Structure 1
Amino acid sequence: MNRGNFFELFKVLCQYDPEIKQRLDELPANAKMMSPDSQNDLLETAASLQSKKIRAELHAQADTYYAILAEYKGHSKKELIAVCVRYIFNGNLRERAVGFVATDHMTSSGIANKILEVLEPLQLDPELCVGFSFDGAAVTSGGRAGVQVLLEKTFPHAVYVRCHSHRLNLVLSTASKVATFFDVINLLHHFMTGANRHAQFLQIQKELHPNKPCLEPVRSTDIRWSSKSESVSRVLTLYDVILKTLSEFAEGSGQTKIEEESLLQHIQRKRFIFLLVAFSKLFNASDFATKAPSVSVTDCVHMIEGLK
């Protein structure tokens, strides 16, 4: 029934915009302009219009200073680079994504060239670039041949600032490595999201908390600090549901029974419960530092000092 995101979004738009629905209905059956090629053309046009809008804002006033932000990650066997531009327009801070492209060369020169390629249509004055921010990987932060060094040749006045959110994530993740505790948290996530167990987990939730929406377990990862906070909070909130679900499956037989009994023993230990509550309190105190909206540097300093 789901014909894909593009068609389904059009269906939603038609419910709220009579003009779109009328134009769509008036098209002949053999020329609905909904083929994959047409969809790509529409998306390219939308991207082009957005790019023109961003360029217009950057050139609306003389001497509009800007900064470049970039991030790269692997996904679906492709290396992808996201590029953003940060600037002030009409007194308000703007942070706009201007490109998301794949690259075959994850070298410093390959990444730098892709960033320049994405920025070229914006026709920016290199002299007005005041800085760029990437994560702290060697390929970007290297002092001799990193991306930041190569880009300084084009943007002579830019100051490289290593992503402070990324640095904070690394510090907090390293500091929170209580291996057995977070291993159990992720084992609970894996168990509760299993095909035949997930339905039972949701059913028990409805029985124990009939007036509340069903919640899903969250997996803890080292690269995203907030996932640790969410995973711990979710286990604490659903502790009674998890206990009952594990108890029911532990009454079965075979390998599954052994796994359930082991998890059940782990989460009922005083040490696990203590860490669950302690980390929950710690995360409640530190969450604001990783989720705070854009604030000034001085406010950031005060926030971090307060957190420490």
Structure 2
Amino acid sequence: MSYPPDIRNQVDGTRKQRFIASWFDEFSNWLEYSIEKDAAYCLYCFLFTAGYSERGHDTFVFEGLAFRANDESENSLNQGNFLELLKVLASCNEEINNVVLKNAPNNLRLTSPDIQKDIINAAATETTKVIITDLRDDFFSILVDECRDVSIKEQMGVVISYVNGSGCVIERFIGLVHVHSTSAASLKKDIEFLFSTYGLSISSLRGQGYDGASNMRGEFNGLKSLILKENSSAYYIHCFAYQLQFILVAIAKKHSSISSFFSTVTRLVNVIGGSCKCRDML
């Protein structure tokens, strides 16, 4: 790795901060330096922070687009997140650049839709294996929420929380499950299926965190109650994020200007979203 030609002192008030070139030797696996901004970054922040790339790759990670784009031709200005990310990796690593995209044989480019899905599924599988290995056979808690996606399918996201070998509390996303019913019994069945996929057991649960919906926290037939009947040690805690959301909503409604703004936006969305002609006009 070449050292930056100009490493200047940075002055922050009365305190001087200086980047030391020898840090590259000690932290070569993740340390990067921006000559333009005269600042140090971890490799991932250096790659994906807005303003990094002159070719327009600084926004694709955050633009909320689908994995693939409608137009993935070579002349497209946005070939989708998969190909754009591959371009970034190739521009940062000569070994990768020599064997991908135009430099790869036509039958070995590995960019077809099916191959893209296979690659991302393989990455997800391997990532989840690492998470389960880190969890070992210890106790854990779950955080669960469900909502509709843009294709009008009900999806349930599952996050596990546990204490790793270093004594740190870790939260990891382990799966997104398409649920055909949002009843408590159906959600429990889907959670059990996900657990069985990764060798987890409800008997190892020590905590549950959901929102306040009746199918989640119902005292008799809610998801938390069904799990508690099977494992009395899986204590339920109302999700603090939802509690904070309720507080913010309640406070906002008390402010007439904010309440009026969101009411207007809601009506506008309903009017435009309910008509294809209105959406085309907009």
Q: Which deviations, in whole Å up to 9, do the C-alpha atoms of 1:88-143 show, x marking residues without a partner?
A: 11211110000012211111112122222222233224333111100010010001
Partner residue, 2:155: 80
What's the Cα RMSD here?
A: 2.2
Report the count of equivalent residues.
187
Alpha-carbon separation, structure 2, partners of 1:183 and 1:167: 19
CA distance in 1, matches of 2:264, 2:186: 41
- Name the % identity: 27
CA displacement 1:211-239 (0-9 Å, x = unmatched): xxxxxxxxxxxxxxxxxxxxxxxxxxxxx
Q: Of 91, 94, 105, which aligns to 2:170?
A: 94
The residue aligned with 2:122 is 45
TM-score by structure 2 length?
0.61
Residue number in structure 2 paired with 1:4: 80
Instruction: Determine which structure has greater relative contact order: mean sequence separation of CA pairs < 8 Å that are 6+ residues apart, divided by chain length.
Output: 1
Letter in 2 for 1:29: N
The counterpart of 1:141, out of the listed 217, 228, 236, is 217
Structure 1 residue aligned with 2:257: 181
**Match status 1:114 vs 2:152:** no
- Partner residue of 1:54 out of 104, 122, 131: 131
Distance 1:45 1:153, change over 3 A: farther
Higher mean displacement: 35-44 or 165-174: 165-174
Task: Tell me: CA distance 1:188–1:52, structure 2 relative to 1, closer, same or farther (3 Å).
Answer: same
Equivalent runs, 1:222-261 vs 2, <5 Å: none
- DSSP 3-state at the match of 1:23: coil
Of stretches 8-17 and 162-171 in structure 1, the one that deviates more from structure 2 is: 162-171
Amino acid at match of 1:158: A
Say whether the 8 Å CA contact 2:252–2:259 is kept in structure 1.
no
Tell me the equivalent position of 1:31: 108
Q: Counterparts of 2:263 and 2:240 in 1: how far apart (Å)?
A: 31
Report the CA distance shift for 1:15/1:154 in structure 2 as closer, same or farther (over 3 A). Answer: farther
| Structure 2 residue identity aligned to 1:132 | Q
Letter of the 2:88 counterpart: V
Shift of 1:187: 8.1
Asked if the contact 1:126/1:156 (under 8 Å) is kept, the reply is no
State the alpha-carbon separation in 2 of the partners of residues 67 and 99 from structure 1.
Answer: 14
CA distance in 1, matches of 2:98, 2:229: 53
* Within-5 A mapping of 1:155-304: 155-178=231-254, 180-186=256-262
**In 2: Cα distance, 1:57 partner to 1:186 partner:** 44
Cα offset, 1:179, TM superposition: 6.2
Helix, strand or coil: the match of 1:176? helix
Name the amino acid aligned to 2:148: G
Aligned residue in 2 for 1:70? 144
Amino acid of the structure 1 residue aligned with 2:149: H
Shift of the alpha carbon at 1:14?
A: 0.7
Q: CA deviation at 1:188?
A: 9.1
Q: Is the counterpart of residue 103 in structure 1 residue 165 in structure 2? A: no
Aligned to 2:106, the other structure's residue is in SS state coil
Distance 1:104 1:116 in 2: 15
| Structure 2 CA distance for aligned equivalents of residues 154 and 20 of structure 1 | 50
Specify which structure has the higher proportion of helix.
1
Question: 1:153-190, CA deviations, whole angstroms, 9 ceiling, x for partnerless residues?
Answer: 44342111111221232133123313641145448989
- TM-score, structure 1 as length reference: 0.56
| More strand as a share of residues | 2
**In 2 relative to 1, CA 126–104 (structure 1 residues): closer, same or farther, beyond 3 Å?**
closer
Write the deviation string for residues 196-221 of structure 1: whole angstroms up to 9, x where unpaired.
xxxxxxxxxxxxxxxxxxxxxxxxxx
Post-superposition CA distance 1:33-88 (Å, at most 9, x none): 111100010011001101110111111xx6x2210111111222111111000001
Q: Any unmatched runs of 5+ in structure 1?
A: 191-308
In 1, Cα distance between equivalents of 2:232 and 2:98? 53
